[in-house]
Amino acid sequence: MSEKTASNLQKRRIREHNPVLNTFTFIVLSISVLACVIPFLYIIAMSFSSPVAITNNRVSLWPVDFTVEAYKSIYEYPNFFRAYGYTFLYTFFGTLISLFMMVLFAYPLSKDWLKGQKIAMKLVIFSMFFSGGLIPNYLLINSLHLVGTVWSMLIPYAINQFNLIILINFFKGLPTEIEEAAVIDGLSYFGILVRIVLPLSGAALATVGLYTAVFFWNNWFAPLIYLKSSQYPVMMLLRNIVNGRTMIVDNGGMGEKSSLSISIKSAVIILSSLPIIMLYPFLQKYFVKGMTVGAVKG
């Protein structure tokens, strides 16, 4: 063991056994956790409380005048569950297609010796900074007759340049010796990708998959532009429910000036965010590893 390594280890031990430092770390992390959890608990409490209790400031972190009326109202809200179903569909198949396409694109681009690799990389990076804009995109998707079909949600978003670069860098970090051995054993490039590279890329795929799933889950603008209202995901409804009241139509009928209770808004927020939040614990072990995926070229 070198002198420098020994000194580093000693410093680390001091840090680990320093009660002041540990307490400080504990306090900072606890505050961070509470800052994230308390608003969520507050929203849950409001979704199960009566509107009168909420208005009169009687609700904190526990429901007051417990009621499930807000959830009942949502159950009766037209098309809420159909929209929910579409959200799952776009998220699941969108992520699947996206991962499939990005892996197929990233693997060859991770090979520096591939002819045209540098130009392809430049094109990828160029398109990351300069997009076509809304109207050209719409015209393209319309001329492909994808407007009004679920494919307009799945195909145009199949490749995200940022995630693609993460994957490329991860693939570049894999030892080339393994692939060389596989070639000697008679595996094709596709065989190497499926049998060697992908099984070693769990962390990268989980990270990129999670980013992609969150994107599809939250995406509301593309559905607005490309889909029929009967195909809208739940985020469109949520946005309409939460923001609807900010529109005041001067000449409108009385109905235009109505508002939804805060308990219903809270219930909608819970129902629409909970499923994607629940995904994190399952992917956490990959996600923590994957945070630095592609950051350093090995």
Partner 1 sequence: MKKFLSLLMAAVMLLSVSSIVATAEEAPIKISIYYSDNSTLPYREDWRTISYLEERFNVDLVFEPIPMTDYGTKVTNVLNNQGDDTPDVILGTSTAGGNAALALNGGAYAVNTNPDWTPNFNARVAEFGLEESVNMLKLGDGNLYYLPQLFDVPFYDGGLILRQDYLEAKGFEAPKTFDDLYVILKAYKEDYPDSIPLTSIVNIYVLQRMTMPAFGISVGRSTSTGTRVLSWDYENQEYFAGALSENYKEYIRFFSKLYKEGLLDPEFTQDDAAATRKLATGLSMAVYGYYDQIGGWEGASEIEGMDLNMYPSLAGPNGAHHQPKSSVGNGIMFPAKTMQRADFEQVVRKIDEVFFSEEGAKVWCLGVEGETYTEVDGKVVFSDDIMAHENQEGIYKYMQNAYGCGCDGTQVVWYNAREMTKYDENYSRINAEVAAIGDVIQYVPATPAFDDEAAEEAALLQTALADAFFVWDDAFMRGTKDIDADWAEYEQDLKSKGIDDFVALYNEYNKYK
| Residues found near partner 1 in the complex (CB under 8 A) | 51-52, 54-57, 77-78, 134-135, 138-139, 142, 145, 147-148, 224-226, 228-229, 236-237, 239-241, 243-260, 262
Q: How far is the CB of 244 from partner 1 (least distance, A)?
A: 3
**Closer Cβ to partner 1, 3 or 76, answer by number:** 76
Name the H helices within the chain. 3-16, 19-47, 51-55, 69-76, 80-109, 117-129, 134-143, 151-154, 161-173, 176-184, 189-192, 202-218, 221-226, 234-243, 262-290
With b meaning 16 or more CB within 10 Å and e meaning fewer, what string describes 244-276?
A: eeeeeeeeeeeeeeeebbbbbbbbbbbbbbeeb
**Closer Cβ to partner 1, 78 or 281, answer by number:** 78
**Closer Cβ to partner 1, 210 or 227, answer by number:** 227
Q: How far is the CB of 70 from partner 1 (least distance, A)?
A: 14
Euclidean distance between CA atoms 170 and 107, whole angstroms? 9
Q: How far is the CB of 49 from partner 1 (least distance, A)?
A: 12
Q: How far is the CB of 46 from partner 1 (least distance, A)?
A: 10
**Closer Cβ to partner 1, 20 or 254, answer by number:** 254
Euclidean distance between CA atoms 294 and 298, whole angstroms? 9
Q: How far is the CB of 232 from partner 1 (least distance, A)?
A: 8
